[in-house]
Structure 1
Amino acid sequence: MATQQPVICTSLHLPPDLRPFLRIHEISLTVFLPNLDRLRLSLETSRNIDPEAAEIFDDTRKILREELEKVFKVLDLAQQLAEQYSKILEALSEGKPTQRPLYYVNLGAYAGRQCSEKAMKAMSVFRRELESAVSRVTATLNTKYKKGSKTMLTSIENTKSVSEILSAIDDCYELLQQCHNQFAQLATQTQDESSIDSNPPSEEETRVMRAKWQTFFDSIRGVWVHGFKIADEIQYP
């Protein structure tokens, strides 16, 4: 029996790697949200005695929500990119030109690259605002409580939460860099609007690419919506 040969991709393009996009969502759900909520609850115990500390963190959570929304916009654009690429594959199956849908894929990839850059800046703001809030809240509470009090952000449990958040911010930054690189690569590859029509793929290649892009779309569809809900819960638990 002859060995089946792998499909050689010519003018079509593979979808981005799903892992960095989905990992960003996972980190937000399992690290950012529970740890920020733990810090919030810790400060709530001292709100009646020292409302300033809780108010500082209230303001910070608002900023963190806004910055995290910028991150999840990257996932939104990744979903849109899959929708745009499906129109290329649809045009091929119908024997129609692909220049116009390829043009929109190029625009989508370029937008994703720019959005990823903004999201990386958002993660830097996220870190800066959190560190500033911890410093200001700790200074405020130090005037009211003995060091080591369970209400302070310097308690062992709360220090661990802050450390986990900061580490996760660094992880998200690296993941966003990966997203950026993938968008940038696709933007470069799709600059020539006639590249597919001048070198049409085989039916088998088209079929394989359709399946891969459909898998990407099915896996990332709606994740950004849930991400925005996570961001909202950070400010409005």
Structure 2
Amino acid sequence: MAEPQPQPLVCVFLKLPPSPQSVPRIHEIAWNVFLPQLDRLNDAFEAAQITHLSPEAKKIWLDARRSAAKKMSYLRDVTYLNYDAAGKFLAFVEASHLGRNNSKAYDTFQTGVYHAIRKTRTAQEVLLKFREDIRIVVNQITTLISDNGKDVSSFTSESSQSMLEIATAVEECNAILEGHREELEEVQRQKLDENDNPPSEAEFQMVEEKWLMFRKSSGAAEYRWQVLEETMQEPKDNDKPPTTSNNPTTPAMPTNSSKRPRVPFWRKFFRHVSSCFSVEKFVR
């Protein structure tokens, strides 16, 4: 007779974290769809400029790229606020497990989750604005370069395909962010006291592991948001030799050995949070 299978552990008190796959997927879409489609639009525009020169259209396009790059910072913010909220929730779990007064840790994590929810909602709105801005800019450029009845069918065809790709990717990102926000809202329902359902040792251990995994998936070393923003700001230069990377699955990061690398704010943020919070191993 087959031995009975162990029953899956059910959390009776502590909340589990959101899926650790949400932000990596959004980061992937930003690199593999948003950036390439902006480059595709740029190539189509440059080709049209050969026979339909328009300095005004050029300025509009450059401004649009810089604006698009800035919008990526809202996706980056979702990442590091996830990291911050995870650290604060782990502090609450630790205080609860050790029997300390956990009311302060509870209030702190609730504040962190609240800000993560707000930032996620803002990121959704910004992505919709990103899609709409690209559509408006393409229409403006089409009007400018087609002055006097000039044929711009090639630009129109390419830009239409790119806008469709961007719109589809925005819809996917927004759906992911919506699910992520709902998961954060579920975490926000965490109660302060366990009442008649104190967590078991196994629950503490499993929840700790899940939140540590989520925290790691939101770490600064996992993403290249800053590089994405910098790359997106300016059109690619096809005359420059391609950069190489030791990691073939990650977009290549430009290097400059003659200058001291600038440490972006978000990386300083992660270092600060890591130095201020260290999760002790729970007593088993």
Shorter chain as normaliser: what TM range?
A: 0.7 to 0.9
Does structure 1 residue 236 correspond to structure 2 residue 219? no
Q: Structure 2 CA distance, aligned partners of 1:4 and 1:163?
A: 48
Question: 208, 211, 235: which is aligned to 2:209?
Answer: 211
Answer whether contact 1:50 1:141 (CA < 8 A) is retained. Answer: yes
Q: Which residue matches 1:101?
A: 105
Q: Which residue matches 2:82?
A: 78
Query: Aligned-pair distance for 1:196?
Result: 4.2
Deviation string for 1:133-181 (max 9, x for gaps)?
A: 01001111112742334xx2x13x4432221011111222222211221
Q: Which residue matches 1:59?
A: 63
Answer whether contact 2:22 2:180 (CA < 8 A) is retained. Answer: yes
Answer whether contact 1:28 1:227 (CA < 8 A) is retained. Answer: no
TM-score, length of structure 1 as denominator length? 0.86
Q: Which residue matches 2:31?
A: 29
Question: 225, 228, 238: which is aligned to 1:227?
Answer: 225
Query: Aligned-pair distance for 1:132?
Result: 0.5
SS of 1:186 mapped into structure 2? helix
Task: Trace 1:33-182 onto structure 2 (pairs within 5 A).
Answer: 33-45=35-47, 46=49, 49-143=53-147, 145-149=150-154, 152=155, 154-155=156-157, 157-182=158-183
Task: Give RMSD over aligned pairs.
Answer: 2.4
Match for 1:169: what amino acid? V
Query: Aligned-pair distance for 1:129?
Result: 0.7
Q: Structure 2 CA distance, aligned partners of 1:196 and 1:224?
A: 34
Match for 1:202: what amino acid? S
SS of 1:18 mapped into structure 2? coil
Q: Structure 2 CA distance, aligned partners of 1:146 and 1:185?
A: 54
Match for 2:174: what amino acid? Y
Query: Aligned-pair distance for 1:232?
Result: 2.8
Match for 2:135: what amino acid? E
Deviation string for 1:168-218 (max 9, x for gaps)?
A: 11222222211221222222x13x4x3248753111111111111111122
Match for 2:181: what amino acid? H
Answer whether contact 2:142 2:152 (CA < 8 A) is retained. Answer: no
Match for 1:7: what amino acid? L
Answer whether contact 1:87 1:101 (CA < 8 A) is retained. Answer: yes
TM-score, length of structure 2 as denominator length? 0.73
Q: Structure 1 CA distance, aligned partners of 2:89 and 2:144?
A: 53
SS of 1:146 mapped into structure 2? coil
Q: Which residue matches 2:273?
A: none
Q: Structure 2 CA distance, aligned partners of 1:12 and 1:84?
A: 14
Query: Aligned-pair distance for 1:92?
Result: 4.0
Query: Aligned-pair distance for 1:86?
Result: 1.7
Query: Aligned-pair distance for 1:31?
Result: 0.2
Q: After the TM superposition, which of the residue ranges 46-55 and 73-82 deviates more from structure 2? A: 46-55
Deviation string for 1:38-75 (max 9, x for gaps)?
A: 21233234279322222111111122122221232112
